[in-house]
Structure 1
Amino acid sequence: MKAFAKIFSTGVLMCAAFSAAANDNFPNRPIKWVVPFTPGGAMDSMARAIGERLAQNLGQPVVIENRPGAGGTIGSALVAKSEPDGHTMMIVSIGHAVNPALYPKLSYDPVKSFEPVSLVAIVPNVLVVGPGVKANNVSELIATAKAQPGKLTYASAGNGTTIHLGAELFNAMAGVDIMHVPYKGSAPAMTDLLGRQVDMMFDSVSSAKPHIDSGRLKALAVTTTKRSSVLPNVPTLNEAGLKGYELNGWYAVFVPAKTPRPVVDKLNAEIVKAIKHPDVAKRFSQLGAEPVGSTPEELAKYLGSEIPRWTEVIRSRNIKAD
């Protein structure tokens, strides 16, 4: 027993020494930051803003690698198979919680294949109606939809997108039937909304704000439980009468499963620090994003609540991927 105890104790000390060494030596080469969508979008902009600060603070380049396709699953699969040493990480959106229900044959598990690092930001969407809709608030919109089932239409950026999910959640909670018109991206959807081809849309606050300010669109409510700093005078859907409605367009950072905890903690500390930097905060504000920064445990808990929530919405509304 004494011999066993000695061996066990030696093993514990060796593991502790290895973890400390991993932390002290990290990073020892450039960090690859996978963005599973095309350049230029909100996710890409956030990664680049944070990555610039990380590179300065960690003393190694942070290389953004865009791997778009299949709703973000191609990039996520790449990271899931990468070496778990902290030199490969990814930023994902709410799609990370949605994809298991949309793509039942994923090559990775959204929870087990990754280690959570930090929740980065929350981006509200806003319910806007076009020039042809007379409703001035959510209650009037619901009344109009109930009086004319299937007549009103909403645009989305495609099946399974946040914009689509937000509208289907609205349909379900309000007990209305507003017809879905999917587009290949939010830009053409917005064009047709302004052109009166469709009646309403759940768009990001930063994208919709210029049209709201010009008076071409009416903002009825935002989708988060707190008002947006970009549109402080616009109520939440909860405030507007649809009690319990919540849709957060969120962004978070993950690394491959089995990445040493000291490395995860170091990345977490540096990412949270970067989010608070004035230059990063300014960029987030331009994107309509509310900066967060969390512990790995808080992100794990949040993801654990989001997956079953959106799985239920997708299955009950029979939503399919494009």
Structure 2
Amino acid sequence: MRSFLLNGGRALLAAVALTTAHSALAEFPDKPITLIVGSAPGGSNDVFARMLARRLGDSMKATIVVENKPSGGGILANVLVAKAPADGYTLAVVSSTFTTGAAVRDNLSYDPVKSFTHVAMLAKGPLLVTVGKDSQFKDIQSLVAYAKQHPDRLNYGSSGTGSINQFASEIFCEAAGIKMTHVPYKGMGPATNDLMGGQIQMLIASAPSILGQVKGGAVRALGVTAAEKSAIAPDLPALEQVGYKGSAVDLWWGVIGPANMPKAVTEKLNTAINDALKSEDMKAFFLKEGAEPAPESPARFGTFVAEELTRWKHIAQAKNIKAD
């Protein structure tokens, strides 16, 4: 009898827990969701976050508030999310800097893998290899040929030490067997200005940050950091296709939350985000901004983040890339 009661009690508790979980999922979200962006308004993270907030607000019948918390590498936003209650009401839109920045810093108060729930991947896109509009280099091959004859003569820019731009440039240089001098800037704006002014000779930049200048004729694009041609810039050769094996680098965007979010809430958010990414208008929106939708499960996104972090740490150590 006592065994029956104990077993019956456990069953009752399990049933109550299951009912509570279903109830919480049915009610989520029943208050505003905060979507934090670790950069100023206008950047790709911010643009993607605001579009996502509108779409999820409609589909989930929720109020989603975008808050900008600018800081170097988005660290402040990451800290705020890591310390937030793990209930799904505090999220962040992050990009490749989430892992490249962590790869060059050993004093972060969070772990990019263990401190977060990796809710959903949003999009991916290659970076563009660009030179000034008056540059002598008309294609990748002429740039590489000159750099081989004049090691360290050419300067390449980036948005800062440990940025995806620096990593992509170092990977390209390694694949091409050339050496260039790194010139870090505090953001893509000043780097692009110096590319146009001739102070630097190459800039590998994300499509959202440089495609407008390419289309406007202010800079010249020579290729994309991809394994094959990209719909983002179909007229440009992919670096791997023209012989620079191992040079493919994708810029990516995704949504994270605090660690240990309820599985049901995580999956509900993931489903809503992936459904939005499948719509034709979202595909067109991302393509216009220089990216393509890349829906993933939470588990696969988490694995991807871990793999990215390992890759960048290896390159940072090999190239002695450290945060300022």
* Smaller-chain TM-score bracket: over 0.9
Q: SS state of the match for residue 219, structure 1?
A: strand
Q: Is the 8 A contact 1:155 1:180 kept in 2?
A: yes
Q: Which piece of structure 1 moves more, 130-139 or 312-321? A: 130-139
Q: Which residue of 1 aligns with 2:17?
A: 15
RMSD of equivalent CA atoms = 1.9
Q: SS state of the match for residue 201, structure 1?
A: strand
Matching residue's letter, 1:119: M
Of 83, 93, 96, the residue aligned with 1:81 is 83
Equivalent residue runs for 1:77-156 within 5 Å? 77-131=79-133, 133-156=135-158
2:50 matches 1:48:
yes
Equivalent residue runs for 1:227-306 within 5 Å? 227-306=229-308
Shift of residue 216, structure 1, vs aligned partner: 4.9
Q: Is the 8 A contact 1:221 1:240 kept in 2?
A: no
Residues 77-127 of structure 1 deviation map (CA, whole Å, 9 limit, x = unaligned): 111111111111111111121232222121111111111111100122111
Residues 140-172 of structure 1 deviation map (CA, whole Å, 9 limit, x = unaligned): 322211111110111111211211111112222
Q: Which piece of structure 1 moves more, 228-237 or 8-17? A: 8-17
TM-score (norm 2): 0.93
Matching residue's letter, 2:174: A
Count residues with an aligned counterpart. Answer: 322
CA distance in 2, matches of 1:132, 1:179: 20
Equivalent residue runs for 1:208-227 within 5 Å? 208-213=210-215, 215-227=217-229
Shift of residue 76, structure 1, vs aligned partner: 0.8
Q: Is the 8 A contact 1:139 1:241 kept in 2?
A: no
Shift of residue 222, structure 1, vs aligned partner: 0.6
Q: Which residue of 1 aligns with 2:32?
A: 30
CA distance in 1, matches of 2:160, 2:71: 13
Shift of residue 215, structure 1, vs aligned partner: 4.8
Residues 200-253 of structure 1 deviation map (CA, whole Å, 9 limit, x = unaligned): 110122443344345553322211334222310111111121112221110011
1:103/1:272 Cα in 2 relative to 1: closer, same or farther (>3 Å)?
same
Q: Is the 8 A contact 2:228 2:241 kept in 1?
A: no
Structure 2: stretches of 5+ with no match in the other structure: none
Matching residue's letter, 1:31: I
Q: SS state of the match for residue 120, structure 2?
A: strand
CA distance in 2, matches of 1:2, 1:245: 64
Structure 1: stretches of 5+ with no match in the other structure: none
Give identity over the alignment, percent: 35
Shift of residue 279, structure 1, vs aligned partner: 4.1
CA distance in 1, matches of 2:276, 2:212: 28
Q: Which piece of structure 1 moves more, 308-317 or 6-15? A: 6-15
Q: SS state of the match for residue 245, structure 1?
A: coil
1:82/1:216 Cα in 2 relative to 1: closer, same or farther (>3 Å)?
closer
1:136/1:271 Cα in 2 relative to 1: closer, same or farther (>3 Å)?
same
Q: Which residue of 2 aligns with 1:162?
A: 164
Q: Is the 8 A contact 1:132 1:199 kept in 2?
A: no
Q: SS state of the match for residue 124, structure 1?
A: strand
Q: Which residue of 2 aligns with 1:193?
A: 195
Q: Is the 8 A contact 1:126 1:202 kept in 2?
A: yes
1:133/1:314 Cα in 2 relative to 1: closer, same or farther (>3 Å)?
same
TM-score (norm 1): 0.93
Q: Which piece of structure 1 moves more, 223-232 or 143-152? A: 223-232
